[in-house]
């Protein structure tokens, strides 16, 4: 807790061992091996090597900050040296006992990667030396003047990021500039060394100059008159909307698809944000309304044998939404008097009930059971069928904008205030004359409506739906994204969706480790920003107020 606590060599060793254990874990679960052939920068560095050295480097950097001023290099060296030890133990155990009987991913090729193909003895030596060197290098960077350090770090970070997302970049570059130019920069996912170097230098330079000049630009902006500033924001807004409109052209079909998926979650997130963020009702069965919206759309429009009406998308859309709203009220009523976690488990149950019923043989004749509903047409707009993701994007965008508009209006309305009052304290809210029944039901209903809308678009985007798409994980994901974004904050929903839906989609390359990364990401993000990435103004204020009050639980924190 206190920063004055002396940072001893023993702490440095512990830190190092921790880093080593994390690296060992990353290796034993198989992630290092998966990326052993993946070139981050062609011929210079593989992704696997990044994983091996990243954690020791970060922790050494940390150590360097805490270490006594006169022995920083020593501390960093010790930390990074000890960081290599657990990995060394792994190599030793694996090459003598053949751990693979127990740990399936500790394969000979993993050991080869960890020892850089030089055999256990030489390889281990290289590993220890290299890790220590990386740690010392990190300490050196830490020692630099802030004006130089920050640009260098920014350059390194961006280069690594570009290398990581190279697959997507490669595809986009190819679409815009043709294959010849792309191969100069990225070839089979690997950033070419020259391009990487140029990029590194350019980013560092930009970052450096930005730092030098940034302040004066900011000051210049601040000194503008109010009218000027308003004009500026108008211009920005228009630019932003234009950007939204032409986005599919820039993104191409795959990224548009990802955007659509993000959009569908944004829609759901906006709805759940009303229920959880505004009204404070913890709903873990939110997927139920999504499923209802999707199924209503499917049954109404399907051209297959389960379709009942073969109506158009636009006709079925309001029906889906209304059905979801009714379902929201129906669920809302019995749980009106439940609070907190009781509400959570009951709503969770409701979500599961809907999924199980959809999957059951009982309802199979009507909604397809496990075999789902097929042949749902995509929406058409004045005769054009919106087949491409880039076309569907506009439907999703329209939905999101609508939900956004409703949410903004609501949050500042009388109803919005009532929700917030209720979230803070139901009893006080009631005492103030708020009708709890109506207020809660409205939250459920509107939230369900957004989700139903989202589900309807989802069904017609997929052209076929199966009960498996409506499992608990969706509810969990939506809840996570509104919390990661910042509860009660509308931009937060978008940020959360981008992080929790968009990012895993862009990191498809991590294959079977995506959920693993997702889990780790959730923990790390919440530890780093408990209030979310874009907290609402009110929440920021509250947290700030918290900080001012004297900490009570410090007393017990003896560790």
Query: Which residue in the set 359, 407, 497, 536 belongs to the binding site for other proteins (CB under 8 A)?
Result: 359
- In the list 82, 286, 289, 350, the residue contacting other proteins (rule: CB under 8 A) is 350
Kindly tell me which residue out of 80, 131, 480, 497 binds other proteins, with binding defined by CB under 8 A: 480
Here's the x/- map for other proteins, 261-290, by CB under 8 A: it reads as x--------------x-----x--------
Among 44, 74, 326, 357, which residue interacts with other proteins (rule: CB under 8 A)? Answer: 357
Distance CA 493, CA 478 (A): 9
What's the helix, strand, coil split of the chain in %, to 5?
Answer: 75, 5, 20
> Exposure of 226 by Cβ count < 10 A (0-12 exposed, 13-18 middle, 19+ buried)?
exposed
Residue 198, phi then psi, degrees to nearest 5: -60, -45
Binding mask 297-326 for other proteins (x = CB under 8 A): -------x----------------------
Residues 6+ apart with CB under 8 A from 543: 531, 535
CB 434 within 8 A of CB 421: yes
Window 182-211: residues binding other proteins (CB under 8 A): 188
Which residue number, 215 or 512, has a Cβ lying nearer to other proteins? Answer: 512
List 44, 326, 464, 503, residue binding other proteins (CB under 8 A)? 464
- Least distance to other proteins, CB of residue 396, Å: 13
Nearer to other proteins, 316 or 344 (CB): 344
Structure token digits, residue 38: 């993946």
What letters, b where the CB count within 10 A reaches 16 and e where it falls short, cover 179-189? eeebeebbbeb
Supply angle C-alpha 67, 73, 78, rounded to 5.
80
User: Per rule CB under 8 A, is residue 107 in the interface with other proteins?
Assistant: yes
Residue closer to other proteins by CB (options 8, 188) is 188
The whole-angstrom separation of Cα 81 and Cα 83 is: 5
Nearer to other proteins (CB atom), residue 122 or residue 473? 473
Where are the strands (E) in 344-430, listed by range?
380-381, 384-385
Closest separation between CB of residue 422 and other proteins, Å? 12
Q: Given the complex with other proteins, which of 69 and 101 has the nearer CB atom?
A: 101
List all residues 6 or more positions away from 437 whose beta carbon is below 8 Å from its beta carbon: 336
Query: Binding to other proteins by residue 548, rule CB under 8 A?
Result: no
* Near other proteins by CB under 8 A: residue from 465, 478, 493, 499: 465
The one segment of 190-198, 267-275, 336-344, 399-407 that binds other proteins by CB under 8 A: 336-344
Residue 121 in contact with other proteins, rule: CB under 8 A: no
Minimal distance, residue 540 CB to other proteins, in Å: 12
Six-digit token string for 305: 């044998």
Whole-angstrom Cα distance, residue 470 to residue 130?
A: 48
Residue pair 301/293 in contact (Cβ under 8 Å)? The answer is no
Q: Note whether 476 binds other proteins by CB under 8 A.
A: yes
d(C-alpha 279, C-alpha 275), whole Å: 5
Gap between the Cα atoms of 165 and 274, Å rounded:
34
423 close to 280: Cβ distance less than 8 angstroms: yes
β-pairing verdict for 384-385 and 380-381? antiparallel
Q: Which is nearer to other proteins, 65 or 337 (CB)?
A: 337
- 468 contacts other proteins (rule: CB under 8 A): yes
Rounded to whole angstroms, how far apart are CA atoms 415 and 435? 10
**Among residues 8, 25, 424, 541, the one that binds other proteins under rule CB under 8 A:** 25
Interaction residues for other proteins, span 60-79 (CB under 8 A): none
Q: Residue 123 or residue 485: which is nearer to other proteins going by CB?
A: 485
- Count of CA atoms in the C-beta half-sphere (13 A) of 155: 21
Q: Is 353 among the residues that bind other proteins (CB under 8 A)?
A: yes
Give me the count of residues in the chain: 559
Q: Which of 360, 385, 408, 413 binds other proteins (CB under 8 A)?
A: 360
Q: Is 166 in the site for other proteins (CB under 8 A)?
A: no
Residue 468 or 544 with smaller CB distance to other proteins: 468
Q: Which residue has the tokens 């970049």?
A: 169
Within its chain, how far is the Cα of 131 from the centroid?
Answer: 30
Q: With respect to other proteins, which residue has the nearer C-beta, 132 or 451?
A: 451
By CB under 8 A, is residue 424 in contact with other proteins? no
- Of the residues 97, 176, 314, 366, which one makes contact with other proteins according to CB under 8 A: 176
Smallest gap from residue 381 Cβ to other proteins (A): 18
- Residues 487-516 touching other proteins, rule: CB under 8 A, are 487, 505, 508, 511-516
Q: Is 28 in the site for other proteins (CB under 8 A)?
A: yes
Contact 268, 291 (CB under 8 A): no
DSSP state of 274: I
Residue with smaller CB distance to other proteins, 226 or 552: 552
334 is an interface residue for other proteins by CB under 8 A? yes
How many residues bind to other proteins according to rule CB under 8 A?
A: 123
d(CA 151, CA 142): 12
Backbone angles phi, psi at 478, to 5 degrees: -65, -40
Q: Which of 152, 346, 402, 406 binds other proteins (CB under 8 A)?
A: 346
- CA dist 411 and 136 (Å) reads 52
Contact set for other proteins, span 224-263 (CB under 8 A): 236, 239-240, 242-243, 246, 249-250, 252-255, 257-258, 261
Radius of gyration of the chain (CA): 27
C-alpha–C-alpha distance, residues 73 and 9, integer Å? 12
Name which position in 137, 462, 503, 540 contacts other proteins (CB under 8 A).
462
Q: Residue ranges of the alpha helices (H) in 144-225?
A: 146-164, 166-185, 193-222
Q: Which is nearer to other proteins, 133 or 437 (CB)?
A: 437
Tell me the window of 52-60, 75-83, 144-152, 171-179 that interacts with other proteins (CB under 8 A): 171-179
Q: In sequence order, which residues have a C-beta less than 8 Å from that of residue 550 and are 6 or more positions away?
A: none
């Amino acid at each position: 807790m206190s920063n004055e606590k002396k940072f001893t060599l023993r702490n440095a060793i512990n830190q190092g061992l921790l880093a080593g254990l994390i690296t060992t874990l990353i290796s034993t679960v198989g992630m290092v091996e998966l990326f052993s052939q993946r070139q981050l920068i062609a011929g210079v560095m593989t992704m696997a090597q990044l994983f091996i050295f990243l954690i020791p480097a970060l922790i050494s950097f940390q150590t360097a900050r805490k270490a006594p001023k006169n022995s920083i290099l020593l501390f960093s060296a010790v930390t990074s040296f000890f960081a290599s030890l657990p990995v060394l133990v792994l190599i030793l155990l694996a090459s003598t006992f053949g751990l693979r009987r127990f740990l399936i991913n500790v394969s000979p090729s993993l050991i080869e990667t960890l020892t850089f193909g030089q055999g256990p003895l030489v390889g281990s030596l290289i590993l220890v030396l290299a890790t220590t060197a990386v740690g010392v290098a990190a300490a050196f960077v830490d020692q630099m003047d802030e004006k130089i350090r920050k640009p260098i770090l920014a350059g390194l970070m961006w280069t690594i990021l570009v290398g990581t997302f190279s697959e997507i970049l490669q595809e986009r570059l190819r679409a815009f500039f043709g294959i010849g130019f792309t191969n100069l920069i990225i070839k089979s996912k690997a950033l070419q060394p020259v391009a990487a170097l140029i990029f590194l230098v350019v980013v560092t330079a930009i970052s450096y100059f930005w730092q030098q000049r940034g302040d004066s630009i900011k000051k210049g902006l601040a000194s503008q008159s109010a009218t000027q500033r308003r004009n500026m924001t108008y211009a920005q807004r228009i630019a932003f909307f234009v950007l939204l409109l032409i986005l599919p052209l820039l993104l191409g079909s795959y990224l548009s698809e990802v955007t659509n998926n993000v959009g569908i979650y944004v829609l759901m997130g906006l709805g759940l944000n009303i229920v959880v963020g505004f009204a404070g009702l913890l709903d873990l069965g939110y997927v139920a309304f999504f499923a209802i919206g999707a199924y209503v759309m499917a049954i109404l429009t399907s051209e297959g044998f389960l379709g009942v009406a073969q109506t158009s998308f636009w006709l079925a859309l309001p029906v889906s939404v209304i059905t979801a709203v009714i379902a929201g009220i129906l669920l809302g009523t019995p749980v009106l008097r439940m609070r907190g976690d009781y509400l959570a488990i009951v709503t969770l149950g409701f979500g599961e009930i809907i999924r199980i019923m959809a999957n059951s043989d009982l309802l199979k004749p009507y909604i397809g059971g496990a075999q789902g509903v097929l042949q749902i047409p995509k929406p058409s707009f004045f005769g054009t069928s919106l087949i491409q993701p880039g076309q569907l994007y506009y439907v999703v965008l329209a939905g999101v904008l609508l939900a956004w508009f409703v949410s903004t209006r609501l949050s500042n309305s009388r109803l919005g205030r009532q929700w917030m009052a209720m979230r803070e304290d139901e009893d006080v809210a009631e005492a103030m004359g708020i009708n709890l029944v109506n207020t809660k039901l409205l939250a459920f209903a509107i939230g369900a409506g957004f989700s139903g809308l989202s589900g309807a678009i989802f069904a017609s985007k997929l052209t076929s739906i199966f009960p498996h798409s409506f499992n608990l994980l969706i509810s969990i994901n939506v809840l996570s994204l509104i919390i990661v974004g910042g509860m009660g904050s509308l931009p937060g929903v978008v940020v959360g969706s981008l992080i929790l839906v968009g990012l895993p989609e862009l990191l498809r390359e991590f294959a079977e480790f995506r959920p693993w990364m997702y889990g780790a990401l959730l923990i790390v993000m919440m530890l780093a920003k408990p209030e979310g990435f874009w907290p609402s103004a009110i929440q920021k204020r509250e947290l700030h107020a918290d900080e001012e009050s004297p900490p009570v639980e410090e007393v017990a924190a003896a560790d």
